[in-house]
Structure 1
Amino acid sequence: MARGPVAAKPPYGGIAGVYDRWMAADRIPYEEWFAFTSRRFAEAGREVRSVVDICCGTGVTVRRLQEQGFGVTGVDASPEMLDIARRRAAPGTELVELVLPDERLARLGRFDAALMCFDGANYLTGEDALARTLGHIATALEPGGVVVFDLSTRLSFEAIAAMGGFGERFDDFGYTWDTRHEPGSAHYEYLVTLTDPDGREVARERHQQRWFDRDEVEAALTAAGFTGVAVHDNYGEQAAGPRTRRDTWSARLP
């Protein structure tokens, strides 16, 4: 019997179960991320023992931070991703479902550091959403606390948009990706369709992201009370430049 149309799901509501295989270690340079983050933690104005991992997804970064001895609280907007994170993280790990910006982030506790990796901040598309979230992070950090986060740049978004629709097949699933751009704006929409081994649609999702001007990000960090603001090229030690595809920001509270 033919199936009816598949209802659209919130971001990661359908792809959570295949996300880790889709974004396997050979695609995501986790080791480079952790090396960069460790260096920034070492430069913080205090010993870093507790971390809030924002947009923690399936908990890969949560688990790795815990293996390094940090106490970690995870935050994500997707309950499906958090379900996987609970199975991966240490027993008793606090994992909180929040759609940012949300002032409850500021009340989760007092942390020595905050981390937001892999384009999580690009989902902050609403008016002043990035600035408000950075303000909540600042409130949640101890004096001298450090924040590290990344943002895909305009160059990265334009490169993906230039590809138009594309897709890929794995052993037991496939996907198609279609990019739509609002002309003259920083906003992009991604339509992601997940298929089974026979090519039948099993899930559809709509993802909305945007890029940020560096002056805008620096102003938001400064307004939130951060100092020592720096932006590097994709988790390396080279300063970000005009050809950077992923800005990696770090800053600390006085």
Structure 2
Amino acid sequence: MSAGPEDDHGYGAPYSALAQIYDRWMAADRIPYDQWLSFAGKRFVESGLEVRTVLDVCCGTGMTMKALQDHGYEVTGVDASAAMLDVARTRTTPGTELLCFAVPDERLAELGPFDAALVCFDGANYLTGEDGLAATLRQLAQALRPGGVLVFDLSTRRTFEEIAALGEFGEDFGDFAYIWNTRHEPDTPAYEYLVSLFVPEGELFRRSVEQHAQRHFTRDEVRNALRATGFTDIAVSDNYTDRDATDTTRRESWSARRTTGSIPR
């Protein structure tokens, strides 16, 4: 999910160029979309709700949306990247509602009500602004019906530190290549990634550079934000499994339910 348009340094907006090769890259990395859907489905069943409508925030190219639709769910997608949504339109059911804006945004709270909401694959790590996580969770609570289910994931501090330790790295896929650079502001949870992408253009390759800003959160920060914004039945596990999250967890999977009472504003 992108945070905004091209910045003053001339970098492209996140996923503006990556959109055209994103699915190819994710397929090479064997991203387990089926595992995410299975985990979410278990949380839906455990809620006791009849989950039919799902809001997919940071929906990207629509891989998760398509899987949900194939299982009979009615899905609405939100993403900040118009280029990613263009790909999603080719994959999802004709007429699927796909909305282009970055979160937090009050428009999110005005959607629904939905039975469930998802924020998969590090989408919440892009919430770098002050109170960005709390504001987005509050808006998601307002978009869910009472008792509605929220499932999201977060890359952990361990993951960010491991990526930063690699320094500059890249890979040549033949039909495209990339170079990845990590910048970290010391003593903060904030990280900046510069992704240089090379894609064929005639007999040459065109280079695009995108700037991505992310951060990690402590479990206490996440739990406190969930409780403060109207969620209960909070649980966290290791990477879309039923295993407990530990200090070695690289991706945490969170689930919670929208309280049946009023939502704090």
**TM-score clears 0.5:** yes
SS in 1 for 2:130: coil
Shift of 1:201: 4.4
| TM-aligned CA deviation for residue 109 of structure 1 | 1.6
Residue 110 of structure 1 corresponds to: 113
Paired amino acid for 2:231: F
Question: How far apart, in 2, do the equivalents of 1:17 and 1:163 lie?
Answer: 26
Structure 2 residue identity aligned to 1:65: L
Provide the residue aligned with 2:238 in structure 1: 233
Given candidates 69, 76, 81, the residue that maps to 1:78 is 81
> In structure 2, how many angstroms separate the alpha carbons of the residues matched to 1:19 and 1:209?
18
**Which letter maps to 2:208?**
A
Q: Distance in 1 between matches of 2:234 and 2:147?
A: 13
Mapping for residues 139-178 of structure 1, pairs under 5 Å? 139-178=142-181
Tell me: CA distance 1:219–1:170, structure 2 relative to 1, closer, same or farther (3 Å).
same
Q: Deviations over 1:22-79 (max 9, x none)?
A: 1116520112111111100111242100000000000001111000000000000000
Q: 1:25 to 1:107 in 2, by over 3 A?
A: farther
Give me the whole-angstrom Cα distance separating, in 2, the residues matched to 1:139 and 1:202.
Answer: 41
SS of 2:147 mapped into structure 1? strand
Instruction: Note if 1:213 corresponds to 2:218.
Output: yes
2:43 aligned with 1:52, yes or no? Answer: no
Alignment of 1:189 with 2:195, yes or no, is no
Offset at residue 13 of structure 1 (A): 0.5
Residue segments in structure 1 that go unaligned for 5+ positions in a row: 1-5
Q: Percent identity?
A: 60
Aligned partner (choices 3, 12, 16) of residue 15 of structure 2: 12
Whole-Å Cα distance in 2 between the matches of residues 144 and 177 of structure 1?
A: 41
Determine the C-alpha separation between the residues in 2 that align with 1:202 and 1:7: 13
Q: Deviations over 1:145-185 (max 9, x none)?
A: 00000000000000000000000011211000000000000
Q: Normalising by the residue count of structure 1, what TM-score does the alignment of the two structures yield?
A: 0.95
Q: Please give the root-mean-square deviation of Cα atoms over the aligned residues, in Å.
A: 1.4
Deviation (angstroms), 1:196: 3.1
User: Which residue is 2:208 aligned to?
Assistant: 203
What stretches of structure 2 of length at least 5 have no aligned partner? 1-8, 260-265
Give the direction of change, closer, same or farther, for the CA distance of 1:199–1:250 in structure 2 (3 Å limit).
farther
SS in 2 for 1:13: coil
Q: CA deviation at 1:200?
A: 4.1
Q: Is the 8 A contact 1:149 1:248 kept in 2?
A: yes
